[in-house]
Structure 1
Amino acid sequence: MVGKYASGGNTYVMYADGSIEAETPRGRFSFASLDELKAFIDAGGEGTARGAA
């Protein structure tokens, strides 16, 4: 783990390989990169729920 950040009821954990886990009120989501997380948010985030990890 490189860092942990909380914002808006969500907790984000960043790992050395660039992956990110987001713990949200609707579940835990995993992303391979910050770009993937940003694309998820831009596409509507949890409202489009591609599936929790």
Structure 2
Amino acid sequence: MKLKLIDKAILCLGIIEMNNEMAPRTVVIDECIRLTKKFSNPESYKFINASLDKI
């Protein structure tokens, strides 16, 4: 499966926010899921959630 550019951007955003401890981990993941559902394929949030949860 090829990753869409918007999904890559959302993943990068989540990783940066978690690494810099800008917000609690659960808040960052929830925010990224919300962004994915709004701007990407509605099913992509599962991949984003799983990826960020493993970091």
TM > 0.5: no
Which has the bigger relative contact order, CA under 8 A and spacing at least 6? Answer: 2
State the TM-score, normalized to the length of structure 2.
0.29
State the TM-score, normalized to the length of structure 1.
0.30
Higher strand fraction: Structure 1 or Structure 2? Answer: 1
